[in-house]
Amino acid sequence: MVGYMAEDVLASLTEPISAAELPAALAAGARLLEVVTPMEYAAGHLEGSENMPLEELRGRLQELDPAVPLIVSCKVGQRGYYAERLLKQHGFKVRNLAGGLRMALAQQFVPQAAPAAPAGAAEQAALPVADSDGEPAADARLDLTGISCPGPLMKLQRFFAKLEEGKVVRAEASDPGFFHDSAAWAKSTGNELLHQQKKNGFVQVWIRKRAGAQVPAASAAAAMMPARDGKTIVVFSGDLDKAMASFIIANGAAAMGKKVTLFFTFWGLNILRRSESVPVKKTFIEKMFGWMMPQGSKALTLSRMNMLGMGTKLMRSVMQDKNIDSLEDLIRSAQQNGIEMVACQMSMDAMGIRAEELIDGVKIGGVGYYLGAAEDANVNLFI
């Protein structure tokens, strides 16, 4: 990845700007755009920046002046690179903040603007009395160490579902992304973020459960969500890495109380197949399809560097060593979180897959079902 980045710089595909150079560039009149989602921006952003999400950028070019230099930033730099390439192709002078928000804050060159205070913040209860360590007191502690995204948010959501109103939880995670993710989660679910800190390589947050906060199980919370707040994902690919991306995003959204629908079509259907053989009557062509396609999540391969299966085994081994949930674990979490998994009937017919061959909890639907779910969503992804 470092090699790819260096090659892009040498080929003049990107012009990075460091956090140390940023204050001078802003003083000279450059415009700083953070291309993250509104939720990420609300959870914390650089002082003096504007929020223009990457997915909205192409439709908002008229809001930008080609004569004004632009600096784009995201969380770690990748979305900033995409924004930079898009804007440069439309004639803008653009630089990408190397390392994004996280690097800028880590180097302490640029101040972070305080997250927007929720309505009625002045009336909120004061911080609990500090304990003997000088930290805010807590009614309960939650250990989220050793698990990676979206695991900390999912475990936090389940814990809060059983917590009494007014109680304070001190949660500690080893995932660096939990610092900003926890703030966004608290804001989205209506809970009160009291304090955050990074200590000895861990992220520690104190969150109070507020009355009426939306923290029940995702399946129940979905019914209370306002219109167009759901998330829909079309899972077209049957590659292991893309399947994992789909379920990581889905479980993360469910942990924030969103209604999530995964619509599996064509090669994505293989993710839902049972690993064991199921006796069903098929034509010869349908049997051939079944023999040629991976049978279930454990048989999926990587989209890149598969190396006749060696790359896939290596990836699964690395994930296990780093306590990253396997695809099978993510699927089970999706079932527990009430995420809708819908198999496309037309694709099943075309590929000779029967309902009996699919894992438990999968609905059979068509494009009408998917479009209905998409109408109630404000995010729709195709993977």
| In the chain, domain spans | 2-110, 137-208, 218-382
pLDDT of residue 128: 47
pLDDT at 357 over 60: yes
pLDDT of residue 280: 82
Of 57-61, 105-109, 138-142, 220-224, the range with the lowest mean pLDDT is 220-224
Give residue 291's identity as a one-letter amino acid code.
W
pLDDT of residue 245: 93
Q: What is the CATH superfamily name and number for domain 218-382?
A: DsrEFH-like (3.40.1260.10)
pLDDT of residue 213: 64
pLDDT at 126 over 70: no
Q: What is the CATH superfamily name and number for domain 2-110?
A: Rhodanese-like domain (3.40.250.10)
Q: Which of 19, 74, 144, 149 is catalytic?
A: 149
User: What is the pLDDT confidence band of residue 41, given thresholds at 50, 70 and 90?
Assistant: confident
Rg (CA), the chain: 23
pLDDT of residue 85: 93
Distance CA 203, CA 222 (A): 29
According to DSSP, residue 41 is labeled H
Give residue 273's identity as a one-letter amino acid code.
R
Cis before 152 (ω within 30)? no
Distance CA 34, CA 30 (A): 13
Angle formed at CA 49 by CA 47 and CA 54, multiple of 5 degrees: 140
pLDDT average, residue stretch 69-84: 92
Angle formed at CA 207 by CA 140 and CA 335, multiple of 5 degrees: 80
Q: Are strands 50-51 and 112-113 parallel, antiparallel or unpaired?
A: unpaired
* Other C-beta atoms lying within 10 Å of the C-beta of residue 40: 21
Distance CA 279, CA 353 (A): 12
Domain 137-208: give its CATH architecture: 2-Layer Sandwich (3.30)
74 is catalytic: no
pLDDT at 125 over 60: no
